[in-house]
């Protein structure tokens, strides 16, 4: 490979967004030269990690070789992106070289800030301290759940934004349902959320409060995990009181599922592409950079104010590709993203509540079914259909869509 290659379209990140962009773009244009910068040789279907931790899916079924997913005719640069020089239209690599581009798509995902919880790195994966957010430790979550003999189980959620904001409580429901099925009566379950509500959309927050109550889970808001002592089985939280003051509270645990703090990758934060919060600063509808018109961003690293899910990426991909091709052709950008995202909320080992919404938290179901109802149908979709659609359609660049409609929800609210 040329040490300093140049591409018409350069993609930073080979995860769900990056592979989908490359495949979709290649389907729509055979002539555009495309490069992907991605350091990892393994690709995970992360939406299934909750099911892996809950004992309902195998970790090996979430994993593919990155090389097998790179579309034909797309060049893979197996290195870390280290910095951006948008004025010179190039990206520097950790190995010391740089890659030039005419158009840039930035989608490296986000980073997990384990270090922000004191003691967490030292005890993760032992002492009953587990997390579905790490492929290295997700199977330990299942070990903790099936080995739990009673006592106190804590489930934490850090300040948003995070990947799939429903995931921290979904694993709690799977664990609680599992323990009920095994006849365990001595489970003292606590959900400790750094935020002020169960979910960002009030309609679903109200329903999730009922689910938590059904499992007799004690819910604590404005409680942010700041330290874990695994050997002593102690977790310390900073609790924000109604008057704005803060105090630390420490709870004993027999198991704790930790959702780590998350943020934009450091190399994004320190780049000229970042906005004030550290994310790649884009127009929320066109996903074009607010300063550099030949730069786009989508997925977890983007500043678009929506939940960071694979469902959001699926809707963002055709918007970016169509606007990119319009820009290349000297035309006006015409594709728009309305903030759609979806979160299949696993509320038991047999049912899912399908939360779908757009910007401003407007509920927009894709089906004429009340989304507040937990359904076996959505569980089957979560476990069997969505992984197949991910590997065989989304990552293959196929445009597939089911229109989401606010009118469906208006009908149910009016009835």
pLDDT one-digit tens code per residue, 226-243: 999 999 999 999 999 989
339's torsion region: left (phi>0), alpha (psi -120 to 50) or beta? left
The structure's pTM equals 0.95
Length of the chain measured in residues:
415
The domain segmentation of the chain, as residue ranges, is 6-111+263-328, 131-261, 341-414
Task: Please state at what angle helix 138-147 crosses helix 167-181, rounded to 10 degrees.
Answer: 30
For residue 95, pLDDT beyond 90: no
- Percent of the chain beyond pLDDT 90? 93
- For 131-261, which CATH class? alpha beta
C-alpha angle 304/308/309, rounded to 5°? Answer: 130
The full 3-state SS of 149-187, as one line of letters, equals CCEEEEEEECCCCCECCCHHHHHHHHHHHHHHHCCCCCE
The whole-angstrom distance between residue 387's C-alpha and the CA centroid of its chain comes to 15
Coil, helix or strand at residue 133:
coil
Instruction: Give every CB contact of residue 341 below 8 A, 6+ residues apart in sequence.
Output: 306, 307, 309, 311, 312, 315, 356, 357, 358
Distance CA 93, CA 4 (A): 10
> In CATH terms, are 6-111+263-328 and 131-261 the same topology?
yes
Q: Round to the nearest angstrom and report the end-to-end CA distance of the chain.
A: 63
- Residue from 114, 101, 125, 205 nearest 158 by CA: 114
CATH superfamily of 6-111+263-328: FAD/NAD(P)-binding domain (3.50.50.60)
Catalytic residues: 164, 343
pLDDT of 2 reads: 66
Q: Could you read off the pLDDT of 132-175 as tens digits, one per residue?
A: 999 999 999 999 999 999 999 999 999 999 998 899 999 999 99
10-27 mean pLDDT? 98
């Amino acid at each position: 490979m040329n040490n300093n290659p140049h591409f018409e379209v350069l993609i930073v990140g080979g995860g769900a967004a990056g592979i989908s962009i490359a495949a979709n773009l290649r389907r729509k244009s055979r002539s555009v030269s495309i490069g992907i910068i991605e350091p990892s040789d393994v690709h995970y279907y992360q939406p299934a990690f909750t099911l892996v931790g809950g004992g309902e899916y195998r970790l090996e079924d979430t994993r593919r070789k990155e090389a097998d997913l790179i579309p034909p005719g797309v060049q893979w640069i197996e290195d870390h992106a280290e910095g951006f020089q948008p004025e010179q239209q190039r990206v520097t690599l950790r190995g010391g070289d740089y890659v030039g581009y005419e158009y840039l798509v930035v989608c490296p995902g986000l980073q997990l800030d384990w270090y922000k919880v004191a003691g967490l790195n030292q005890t993760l994966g032992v002492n009953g301290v587990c997390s579905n957010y790490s492929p290295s430790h997700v199977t330990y979550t299942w070990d903790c759940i099936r080995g739990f003999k009673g006592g106190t189980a804590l489930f934490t959620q850090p300040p948003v934004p995070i990947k799939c904001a429903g995931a921290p409580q979904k694993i709690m429901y799977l664990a609680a349902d599992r323990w009920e099925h095994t006849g365990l009566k001595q489970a003292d379950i606590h959900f400790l959320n750094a935020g002020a509500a169960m979910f960002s959309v009030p309609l679903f927050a109200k329903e999730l409060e009922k689910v938590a109550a059904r499992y007799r889970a004690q819910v604590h808001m404005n409680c942010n995990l700041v330290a874990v002592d695994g050997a002593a089985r102690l977790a310390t939280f900073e609790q924000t009181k109604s008057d704005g003051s803060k105090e630390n509270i420490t709870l004993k645990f027999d198991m704790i599922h930790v959702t780590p703090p998350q943020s934009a990758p450091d190399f994004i934060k320190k780049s000229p592409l970042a906005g004030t919060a550290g994310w790649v600063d884009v127009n929320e509808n066109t996903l074009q950079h607010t300063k550099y018109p030949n730069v786009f961003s989508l997925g977890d690293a983007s500043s678009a104010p929506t939940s960071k899910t694979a469902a959001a990426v699926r809707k963002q991909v055709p918007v970016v590709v169509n606007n990119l091709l319009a820009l290349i052709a000297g035309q006006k950008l015409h594709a728009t993203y309305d903030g759609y995202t979806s979160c299949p909320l696993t509320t038991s080992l047999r049912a899912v509540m399908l939360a779908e919404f757009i910007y401003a938290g407007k509920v927009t179901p894709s089906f004429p079914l009340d989304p507040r109802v937990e359904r076996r149908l959505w569980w089957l979709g979560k476990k069997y259909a969505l992984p197949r659609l991910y590997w065989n359609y989304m990552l293959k660049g196929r445009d597939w869509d089911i229109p989401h409609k606010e009118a469906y929800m208006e009908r149910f609210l009016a009835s």
